[in-house]
Structure 1
Amino acid sequence: MATAARMFFPAGDYHHPPTGIVQLRVIRGGSSYAEIDLGAGLRRVFTRPGDLLLSLPHRATRFKIEEPRELTMITVDPSLARELLMSAGGTIDELDILDRPMRDPLVAELCRRLESDPPANGVVREWALGLIFANLLRLGRAYRRRQKPNVLTSARFDRVLAAIDAELEGKLSVDRLAELSGMPRRAFTAAFREAAGLPVHQFVLRRRVDRAVQLLENSDLPLAEIAHLTGFTHQAHMNRVVSRLKGLSPGRLRSRGRDEEP
């Protein structure tokens, strides 16, 4: 129901139809780029000793390797794999997401030992396999959590907007806004662009321009002070940005505001 073997593959292009079995490969020797398809399309990746490659029963696979590879191959009957995963509180479907090379030192070491020094006791062998599948399940769940879409909720978006408007004259940092949103920086920038329709920097710049126009049309503050209050580095910077985004210079906008007064 389960085997472990050392295998050597010369450089080449290997296509495998769905095998109906679970195969876990551990790269033992050879580091180089390879084109690998584990069910999600061909990817060019750098592989090295310790990398794990999982093939599921329903997946066709392809390995186009530029250098020879030495592997430990663990082959498990799907019924045993399902049984082990059930014992760990999971299903084989949860491993679908493991469609690229991954790393887990414990799994790699267990596979190597099953191949090079297999336990004589069947209970110990099954325990080792159970530990391998429990860790694959953990990896799959971790990958799935990371791939969940990052959504900037209305409450978080409002919090970020309030901070932007309150701190326009200061040096607003993306890191600070991400912290306010409760999201990692990369996730925040992607989610903010989705919610606002603009990257953070461009959105903040437009808020500064809108505030500057408001002050130009409704106050007698000097242009240099307005530039300072709205976070521009200097008056000339404000003049350039306002003219570009509004089509009128700050001076013309101020004149227009006064012309419109009753």
Structure 2
Amino acid sequence: MERRRSGPDVDNLTSSTSSRAENIVQPELDWRSPPPTFTLISGRPLRIAISRWRVRRRERVEVASDTDDDCHVLSIALRRTRKELFIGGKSVWLGGVRDEMLLTGPKRGVWRATVEGGCDFLRVFLPQTLIAECYAEAFGGGPSDTISMFGVLPVTDLRLRQLGQTFKALDGYDPIAGPCFADSLGLAVGLRLVELACGAEEALANGKLARPQITRVVSYIEDNLAQALCLLELSEVAGLSRVQFVRQFKQATGQPPHAYILQRRIERAKALLKNSDSTIVGVALDLGFCNQNHFARVFSKTVGMTPGRWRSLQS
């Protein structure tokens, strides 16, 4: 078995996005193997893993893996490439178009791939725990055994393609709101896969968050704005499943959780910039940003100007 690692053949993410503390999209060091689970400051891991696999060499490169896993995997071609996938020695997929997506079920036996002219793939690993959670949400109970919904399937479903495209925005996304964003996307993909494979309608509660639940969740977010929050934490505060919480939170606030968290962090930053003598770097660190430059990028993207410019206009 040949495995290509980082070096002249397979490239890591760029230095600006390779830090585990800053980016939930991790370099895929072993082909078709999930990267280490991204763990929040609170110690809670993300339910999904996201990797980026890049080959820069122009000549033909071969990779292989014989390690079994229980993940469903969505692979997205970020550039035009020529890649052929073999399972048990049989060719099962030949890709070459940018934004083409491939869905594979749990891996068993020897998988091998050849790449000609380099490639760049974003890969989303959906573990069995997440698929089982989505299955239970759709059918009212957990499965009795490992769920294997697909072998190798090019993605043609429009809704699944749209969700896959959204995953590309997570590379370099804000590390505080990013985990909540990734959690939400993972759940949406898992539910869609269960719908497509099992013919299930989404069995979701139509109720709304009661006022005490809203108050508890909002207060929890306000008290922990400087930390990376995940859906599991917030859904536990609300006393709902993760799927129910995402839907009902958006009904109650008009925004998905990750967008609400980011908005509240920016509003808190504005208050500190306007009403305190804190330096910009002090505000950035108080709100959990990695550094002043990271804070400035997020603030500028949301507000339309730098923190320093915004502060000067207030005075």
Shorter-normalised TM-score: what interval? 0.3 to 0.5
TM-score, reference length from structure 1: 0.44
TM-score, normalised on structure 2? 0.37
Higher helix share: 1
